[in-house]
Amino acid sequence: MISNHLLFKLASGEVFGPDQPIALKLLGSERSFQALEGVAMELEDSLYPLLKEVSIGINPYEVFQDAEWALLIGAKPRGPGMERADLLDINGKIFAEQGKALNAVASRNVKVMVVGNPCNTNALICLKNAPDIPAKNFHALTRLDENRAKCQLALKAGVFYDQVSNVTIWGNHSTTQVPDFLNARINGSPVKEVIRDTKWLQEDFTEKVQKRGGVLIKKWGRSSAASTSVSIVDGIRSLVTPTPEGDWFSSGVYTNGNPYGIAEDIVFSMPCRSKGDGDYELAMDVIFDNHLLERITKTEAELLAEKRCVAHLIGEGVAFCDLPEDTMLPGEM
């Protein structure tokens, strides 16, 4: 469902711009191959001027050939009675194989966005299995969480969402994620000067963002496909268009060399800025208080535990799973 929304945005020029031709290579499985054929037919029938090619396949070593962008959306959902560690292992094997295929045949500067959950650790597995591609090129999607945070701050302040800036999601795409109101701004002013209800910011705001997906499932009967596809578009556009002066965006990226003291060798959502060339730098003008640091430490510990669970998939020996608690997002169920 996410792909069905996203593909037509890609083909229309909404993502990479009105002058950029695009070739779509769709990777599926034997089970989904007929659906792939159907969506390819719809794309062809839509006569998008920028869409120069649609091809489909089930072998990543063929589909990923010379790819410049890889959007890794598919992952196994969590089934009844399945432990989180089991899901990490099952999906980890998928992303290990896809990382190897990207390493073998994709462009040497391919940009990779991992959407399939648990996306932070899946992105880590993927990049560890693609040693010839810069680790900095791998992203885990946390933009939907950022968009949700902006929405809640705008609603509370009674402003339109475009007045909200400098919103960061720190850490894991799970219920330990940290929506940062300390550094966020509304109409250029610190959020805490506009919304003076500290209890709401520390409790209600954070919980609403963390659990928004679960509330949506209860209302809608399924997870958020349309808004996820919008957030993928936003995430790509943030890398191919210059970041507005003074602002930043959230993305799960590799932590080596980060200036915040976050543990290295994990994929952690942090504030990024881009010149519009597909690359990014981490924002330096960030402040921390004890409340923010405590929450960052908790989500960091979870990602380190997830990493230990998949050690066998990233070349670090025997896996050992000691996840502190089950914080899987409802959409992963």
Residues involved in catalysis: 173
| Alpha carbons 277 and 292: distance in angstroms, whole number | 31
| Alpha carbons 26 and 18: distance in angstroms, whole number | 22
Q: How far is CA 297 from the centre of its chain?
A: 20
Candidates 133, 142, 277, 126; CA nearest to 213 is: 142
H/E stretch holding 187 reads: none
The answer to whether the CB of 311 falls within 8 A of the CB of 318 is: yes
Instruction: For residue 230, give every residue at least 6 positions away whose Cβ sits within 8 Å of its Cβ, in sequence order, or none.
Output: 5, 144, 147
CA dist list (Å): 325 to 85, 174, 202, 249, 269:
11, 11, 21, 28, 20
- Identify the residue whose tokens are 């509370």: 156
The answer to whether the CB of 95 falls within 8 A of the CB of 54 is: no
With H, G, I as helix, E, B as strand and everything else as coil, classify residue 313.
Answer: helix
Please classify residue 20 by burial: count the beta carbons closer than 10 Å to its beta carbon, then call 0-12 exposed, 13-18 middle and 19+ buried.
exposed
Assign residue 223 a region (left: φ > 0; alpha: ψ between -120 and 50; beta: otherwise). Answer: beta
| Alpha carbons 148 and 181: distance in angstroms, whole number | 13
